[in-house]
Amino acid sequence: MNDKINVKSINLDEYGWNDYWSEAFKKIAGEGQKPARVLQEQKGSYKLVSEFGELRGEISGRFRHMASGYDSYPSVGDWVAADLMPQEGQAVIHALLPRKSKFSRKVAGAVVQEQIVAANFDYVFIVNSLNRDFNLRRLERYLTMAWESGAEPVIVLSKKDLSEDAEEKIREVEAITFGVPIIAASAVTGEGTDALRRYLGVGSTVAILGSSGVGKSTLTNLLAGESIMDTGDIREDDSRGRHTTTYRNLVKLPDAGMIIDTPGMRELQLWESEGGLQGTFEDVESLGSSCRFRDCSHENEPGCAVLEAVRNGLLPAVRLESYRKLKKELRFIESKHNQSVRMAEKKNSKEISKCIRKIKPLY
């Protein structure tokens, strides 16, 4: 990170600090340690905001030794306890405060571990563009993860000015989101700006999520009222914006709350989102309660109310297929995770046995 360090007095209340965090801090902080919030993370190095302004943060050796996985490390939006050295522009992170909310995904590749994308936000803006990149199935996946995060989801349909059938697409979204707020927005006309700003009071944090090119950075600039994030042009071949954000970033808006902007994620794999699946597919879950068998998989069982609804045209077949796909993915991840836990426990048991055999009897 080559950012210039700003050493100045900061009111952390503007960054979301409150009595809740103060009590949590007292339980874990060591002598002389101060609170700070993670603004940015890049390859194990952190940009923090503290009462002394922005500092570069590094993990202490003990913290690194005690960390049990990717999810144990600070992520953007986290509050930490740290030793602050404002004159050097540095801080040493010693502890992570318990998260109030988090957006998790499985790490990319074959490793079965949780990765925290963002933490401690109040709302999730799920951005889906209304141009040719409009995708209901992708929206279902993001909504499933948003419900599981512990924050309130809001659907933001961007680039309305580029859509010739925006109202029809909005109705399609309404049919699968069951009361989740939906806001159509345009950076060109400014439509939706006031509605979105209602979620961004002082001290409030919003995580903006969506695939590459849907207009997340443009939306951030729109809400800020100035250009604080790089944006890309629209590609002519597929109407998708060019990928611009390359790292997760917490941005404080002038006289308002904060936004966590995230890179578009090419490999968005679920992580323990069973509760989120129920919230996203409320229609399928409701129909499933009338199935003959309690553990009905809605595949080919007799007396399946879900399949009957598909045959009668009450439930779109693509909706059921999306539900099956995500549920299958969750079961696979759960199975792999449990297998990893069992292997770790077995390895630990073997190590303990070796140590016991090495101990000489006292008699």
> What is the pLDDT, as a whole number, of residue 267?
43
Q: Give yes or no for a contact between 240 and 234, defined as CB atoms under 8 angstroms apart.
A: yes
Share of the chain above pLDDT 90, in %: 52
Asked if the domains at 102-261 and 281-338 fall in one CATH topology, the answer is no
Q: Which of these, 120, 126, 96, lies nearest to 268 by C-alpha position?
A: 126
pLDDT at 255: 83
Mean of pLDDT values over 288-296: 92
**Tokens 């933001």 belong to residue:** 156
The topology (CATH level 3) of 281-338 is Ribonucleotide Reductase Protein R1; domain 1 (1.10.40)
Q: Which of 150-164, 203-217, 227-241, 293-307 has the lowest mean pLDDT?
A: 227-241
**pTM attached to this predicted model:** 0.78
Mean pLDDT, residues 44-70 taken together: 93
CATH homologous superfamily of 12-96: Nucleic acid-binding proteins (2.40.50.140)
> What was the pLDDT predicted at 353?
53
> Residue 337: pLDDT above 70?
no
What's the pLDDT tens digit per position in 154-204?
999 999 999 999 999 999 999 999 889 999 999 889 999 999 999 999 999
Q: Are 162 and 196 a contacting pair, CB within 8 Å?
A: no
The runs of H, that is alpha helices, within 78-185 are: 136-149, 166-177
How is the chain split into domains, by residue range?
Answer: 12-96, 102-261, 281-338
Residue 339 pLDDT greater than 60, yes or no: no
Strands (E), the chain: 34-42, 45-50, 53-59, 79-85, 90-96, 102-106, 114-119, 123-129, 152-158, 182-184, 205-209, 249-252, 258-261
Class of domain 102-261 as given by CATH? alpha beta
